[in-house]
């Protein structure tokens, strides 16, 4: 049966790039909070650690069962990167180290075993390296050999002693559970996966900023810890995660053509276009956010229904007060302005009674939920004081 992959497929290359980003998060969480991290600067990952100094790290996500031998291009390509850096910083490289992280295994008996952690590097290592390189017919390795021979022999050992190979590393699909087990123990088990997803999404966004030059400074371990704490706080008993504060509908926002009931209600009280746009965004964001809470099981069964009941009760109390002085002879402009007053007070009221939980302060949750309550053929809440009498007119687009 023919392979399902095209000859032009770049899946392995794409997997390698994704591995860099995910592994960079993994190692940043593993190192001290003072660690600074760049991606794709001097190497795949560039760490500056207060104890170990500057670390250039190459990452190789290999096929299952792959091994590194004496003439593995993966190793010698990395050596060329490190050597080029070493030569440029030869007078200031006291605390510079070079790491190769690979999912493959170093072949038993190979030269590369000398670079595994806790291995003893013999004084004749440079002779063994010389012998191995002379056996190569690879143009890629020839470039490394030519660059190495530009380094004085008495500096070879100083350079190669800085190299460490960490083989058998976690594969890309296993890193999330590794991070969760190592760093998320204080978090309740049912929330660990959604918190990890948010942390990784935030991390990838920062890495993209680094790669595009939008961000100039490295990412610090302390910054990652603070963001993890922030996401964790959103899953407390008095709080909920907010993921859609800046979300917008794929088709954009167009109040003029929007025929939903809640929009028609707002038009009936003379709400202007910019406020209609805000209301449509609040509805969209609240709808998406509430759905996300349900899917992730971060909301208690029946809690949203109770929240809607509470919102309705607060609306009734306020409506009774604001509409109290109106009568059958009240002019239309007064009716509209009174309806807007009801909407305005609820829109600017920061009372905990209007929050789904006390820690959820996002206004779009409250107002978007009100618009959802107003979006039924027989809505639970309304804004125009004469809505009940004019409901058919309002929903059919007729003038009140």
Residue-wise pLDDT for 11-60, tens only, equals 677 888 999 999 999 999 999 999 999 999 999 999 998 877 899 999 99
Contacts of 115 (CB under 8 A, 6+ apart): 100, 106, 121, 160, 163, 164, 165
Tell me the β-bridge partners of 37: 47, 219
pLDDT beneath 70, residues of the chain: 1-11, 92-93, 397-400
Query: What's the pLDDT at 8?
Result: 41
Q: Based on the domain organization, do 164 and 31 belong to the same domain?
A: yes
In this structure, is residue 225 part of a structural domain?
A: no
Q: Based on the domain organization, do 130 and 272 belong to the same domain?
A: no
Query: What's the pLDDT at 9?
Result: 47
In this structure, is residue 334 part of a structural domain?
A: yes
Q: Based on the domain organization, do 269 and 155 belong to the same domain?
A: no
In this structure, is residue 269 part of a structural domain?
A: yes
Q: Based on the domain organization, do 40 and 162 belong to the same domain?
A: yes
- Looking at 127, 147, 173, which one is the last position of a domain? 173
- Among residues 81, 174, 163, the alpha carbon closest in space to that of 114 is found at 163
In this structure, is residue 186 part of a structural domain?
A: no
CA distances from 291 to 297, 356, 364 (A): 10, 14, 14
At 39, is the secondary structure helix, strand, or coil?
strand
In this structure, is residue 213 part of a structural domain?
A: no
Q: What is the pLDDT of residues 139-188, one digit of tens each?
A: 888 899 999 999 998 888 889 999 999 999 999 999 999 999 999 999 99
Cα–Cα distance for residue pair 396/259, rounded to 1 Å: 9
Q: Based on the domain organization, do 167 and 299 belong to the same domain?
A: no
Provide the domain count of the chain. 2
Q: Based on the domain organization, do 284 and 169 belong to the same domain?
A: no
Q: Based on the domain organization, do 28 and 125 belong to the same domain?
A: yes
Tell me the β-bridge partners of 46: 38, 56
Query: What's the pLDDT at 135?
Result: 85
Q: Based on the domain organization, do 27 and 149 belong to the same domain?
A: yes
- Among residues 263, 262, 264, the alpha carbon closest in space to that of 398 is found at 264
In this structure, is residue 192 part of a structural domain?
A: no
In this structure, is residue 244 part of a structural domain?
A: no
Q: What is the model's pTM?
A: 0.81
395's enclosing H/E stretch is helix 387-396
Q: Based on the domain organization, do 17 and 166 belong to the same domain?
A: yes
- Looking at 145, 173, 201, which one is the last position of a domain? 173
Contacts 24+ apart (CB under 8 A), 331-339: 332/400, 335/269, 335/384, 335/385, 335/386, 335/400, 336/268, 336/269, 336/270, 336/384, 337/269, 337/270, 338/385, 339/268, 339/269, 339/383, 339/384, 339/385
Q: Based on the domain organization, do 159 and 55 belong to the same domain?
A: yes
For residue 76, what are the domain limits? 11-173
Q: Based on the domain organization, do 30 and 169 belong to the same domain?
A: yes
In this structure, is residue 340 part of a structural domain?
A: yes
Q: Based on the domain organization, do 19 and 161 belong to the same domain?
A: yes
């Amino acid at each position: 049966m023919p392979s399902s992959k095209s000859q032009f497929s770049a899946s392995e290359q794409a997997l390698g790039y994704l591995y860099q980003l995910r592994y960079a998060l993994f190692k940043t969480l593993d190192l001290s909070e003072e660690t600074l991290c760049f991606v794709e600067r001097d190497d795949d990952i560039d760490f500056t650690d207060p104890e170990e100094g500057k670390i250039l790290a190459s990452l190789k996500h290999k096929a299952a069962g792959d091994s590194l031998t004496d003439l593995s291009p993966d190793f010698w390509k990395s050596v060329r990167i490190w050597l080029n850096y070493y030569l440029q910083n030869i007078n200031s490289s006291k605390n510079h180290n070079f790491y190769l992280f690979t999912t493959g295994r170093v072949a038993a008996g190979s030269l590369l075993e000398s670079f595994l952690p806790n291995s003893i590097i013999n004084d004749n290592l440079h002779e063994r390296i010389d012998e191995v390189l002379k056996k190569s017919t690879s143009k890629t390795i020839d470039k490394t050999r030519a660059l190495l021979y530009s380094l004085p022999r008495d500096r070879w050992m100083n350079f190669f002693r800085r190299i460490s190979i960490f083989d058998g590393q976690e594969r890309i699909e296993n890193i999330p559970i590794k991070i969760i087990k190592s760093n998320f123990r204080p978090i309740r088990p049912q929330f660990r996966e959604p918190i990890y997803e948010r942390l990784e999404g935030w991390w990838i966004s920062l890495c993209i900023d680094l790669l595009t030059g939008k961000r100039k400074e490295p990412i610090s371990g302390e910054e990652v810890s603070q963001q993890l704490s922030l996401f964790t706080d959103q899953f407390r008993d008095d709080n909920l995660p907010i993921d859609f504060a800046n979300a917008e509908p794929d088709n954009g926002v167009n109040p003029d053509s929007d025929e939903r009931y809640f929009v028609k209600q707002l038009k009936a009280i003379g709400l202007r276009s910019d406020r209609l746009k805000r209301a449509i965004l609040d509805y969209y964001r609240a709808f998406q956010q509430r759905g996300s809470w349900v899917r992730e099981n971060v909301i208690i069964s029946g809690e949203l229904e109770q929240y809607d009941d509470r919102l309705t009760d607060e609306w009734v109390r306020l409506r009774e007060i604001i509409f109290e002085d109106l009568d059958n002879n009240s002019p239309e402009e007064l009716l509209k302005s009174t309806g807007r007053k009801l909407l305005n007070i609820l829109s600017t009221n920061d009372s905990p009674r209007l929050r789904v939980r006390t820690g959820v302060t996002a206004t779009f949750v409250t107002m978007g939920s009100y618009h959802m309550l107003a979006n039924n053929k027989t809505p639970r809440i309304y804004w125009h004081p004469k809505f009940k009498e004019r409901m058919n007119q309002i929903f059919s687009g007729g003038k009140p």
